[in-house]
Structure 1
């Protein structure tokens, strides 16, 4: 293991959904007895794959299962996958935040982890005190920490607040100082989760540059988790694609990113909409039934610039003149970026399907909510906020001309969507 920084063999982490423990004293005793005899967890055999979009038959789930890989010294490894794929669980196991259920981990050198805002910081201590505390935890002497202290403060840009308790820091200041401590106190292995997204754009560029420097110039190992594919491509030379708690693919970073982006539109998740409580005003004239994509799925993670389509099934209880259906896209700050609506139509009673299509989804990377509205010229029948969510993942610079994504004061200007209305049944 001379040039191997991290070696993971058959790693697994089993969790029980719901309360702490297994739910009954007898089950807890069975697990305790098996573990003390060096036997396998008796509930590991019934544990299911970690697919958060489906309902399972077991209360036990493998957050990670049969994970094996090696990371060489000085390598920058990108770890990608959708939310819930097991990425953060892996990093917590590597950082010894929690213990594995199966397998083992061999690590050569000290690990500095940045898994969430303020990792390792004590809120009542000042920034200065936390720097020395974290350095001591990493095994650094006071002299070594002093020699790096000015660089840490300068990089973090928090000199004015360095003697203020960190509980009074903003989340961005917290992350700035935490990353600077992790990066400048010379750990052999640096682990960074999505936490850098808290920082502003200028600080994110500094962090990526620093991680590149510690790898190329200092020969340290970096594990980087992010949903920003452009950042992963720039920083990493090899990648691992996690799916449902297992390694789906490993290899050159460009190949892994390409396969991840290709597969991300296959996520199955159909949004059933409960029947609304009718009011005297709308009389139940029209209401939505289901939101899905053209293949019966909802594409909730797609790359910037990719063609996409959403279909909405709805029902009319009686003939409606001047009927309109509208689809809105809302960002995390509840700003409506764009609403697209159909032309007015006279529709008979029955079930219909509206197909919204767009050649390029020109949204910045992030999570967005969809809103639906059914109305006529005279009245509104139904309006549903947050009917579904989509996650837009960034793409490598080479795959999209970013100049076509234009912004305004409140959001993005998008190409118009095509809308097609299909009659599923002539009458009810």
Structure 2
């Protein structure tokens, strides 16, 4: 009898221990909660989704969690075994097995999780991030002094509301407050005409930056009265003529595509109600929303001008692909943190930019890849030492994707792959040209 009693005690104790273990761990499913020793199973009461409310910007993500609550007061995380859905996928999508939701357009969407016939939901509000606006323009040098007939190169640097900066010397309107003292060309080169002072201004929209230009008369040295004039200068022997200058590198000619800032051979997608502004012609046979353009430019949806631009784009791509490679790599490259001089850079793998990439020095820059062109969010392409965006060309075989809030320079030439420009990304000196599709979202592009 004592042996039988001890055996029953051990069985009961072991059963209670296993029941506690299954309850604490939640089991692999509701069936895993089945008790031993005849104790009834706890029923599933509800599924709660957290957070109950959340807000993200367009393009950002929010992780939701599903929790199953049982009649015995226990609960467990069932995020990975629930079926997730969005009531408004045009506003927000959600991974069907992950609960990770992504904002697509402004509005609110119910995000639901269903587990073992019970459902719960949370609300995701998607908002458009504030548009990137031009905050200020800095003109350098802030003060300069030249003599009559001399010249001074000024540059204009824009600072935007998101903290990004860009050189926009070729994209502003230059003016002089005293044109009899000095004038300034639209390239930013000022010329002294008479002694005096003038204010040099660089204007884009309603924003203006200024600098001072002092013009002095040339100094003429005359001897004091009564002193003889200095003896005449003996002429120097004739100088041997210099050899003819080296023919510069032939730059890439875009032909009839030159005046286009955005060109899409199949379709152009632009977000409704956004802040996209294009300083250049736009062309595509299919457009969701016509992008806003600065005065003086045209949107072409058919006709000989659009057809000619698309044809000359292919000619330019063929030309770029025929150039001899300065660097020829069998792999890809991350240009972030690097400084390149003019040349033709060829890569079999993807070209990516993380952080800041700098082109330094005047000349032709061609970046070719047999794969994709990708930049990360907030990345920057910078130009120094006389490098110009008009002589920088990106020629990927695969799709191009520019990260959100990035600053890009140069013309992207897509032969047959799509180009996607991230939210609030700027190409204030560049072009987006593709024989395929182009997607824009709150972008500022100036050819």
TM tier, smaller: under 0.3
TM-score (norm 1): 0.21
Higher relative contact order (CA 8 A, sep 6+): 1
Tell which structure's C-alpha radius of gyration is larger.
2
